Amino acid sequence: MGSSKTAQALMTKFNYEEKGKRVLLVKPATDNRDDTIDEEGRVHTIVRSRIGLKQEAVALAPGDSIGALYRSMNAKEPVDVIICDECQFLTAEQVNEMKDLADESDVPVLCFGLRADFMTQLFPGSKRLFEIADSITEIKSVCRCGRKATVNARFDENGEIITEGDQVLIGGNDRYEGMCYRCYRNLIRRRDNGR
């Protein structure tokens, strides 16, 4: 959280399009917080950064095939690159498909997402990406203390740190804060010791 990964994804999309390339922008349907519904009732999947950049994207439900989507779109007009935001919510099978597309169709696949959840556990999509990605570049974020943020701490409505619950709870700055492991552990200790 707070690393500008979505802004980076959208700027990368812009850079490809500026060179005349066709970009397939996707994101898991799990993250529907910025989706909109038009007057005809159609849902529009939106990738939105905290600084206000936004683009419409294709939503991928857990059972959807990125390979089938790519082949369908590529048959109409060549797709030059696939960019996925919030890739931590992909299934391992979808990550495998993206790797196959990159290798077999020679299409660049760029994934942007979080490594671990609020309990410091890898997300399934992130785990699979770490296992098979050709390269991984970390986009750094900073803790309020100034150290490198490595944890996405979750908070309840009273501002109390949460360390158990469902792995996925869609939210933004209202629910999550990127912080270093030391600050994360200190908040947990304070909570557990009654401050």
Residues annotated as catalytic (active site), given as ranges: 86
| CA 20/CA 118 separation, integer angstroms | 39
| Distance, CA of 87 to CA of 136 (rounded, Å) | 13
Q: Is 109 helix (H, G, I), strand (E, B) or coil?
A: strand
How far from chain centre, in Å, is Cα 159? 24
Report the C-alpha gap between 160 and 123 in whole angstroms.
23
Contact call for residues 25 and 55 (beta carbons, < 8 A) = yes
What does each C-alpha distance from 160 to 106, 145, 147, 186 come to in angstroms?
47, 18, 21, 12
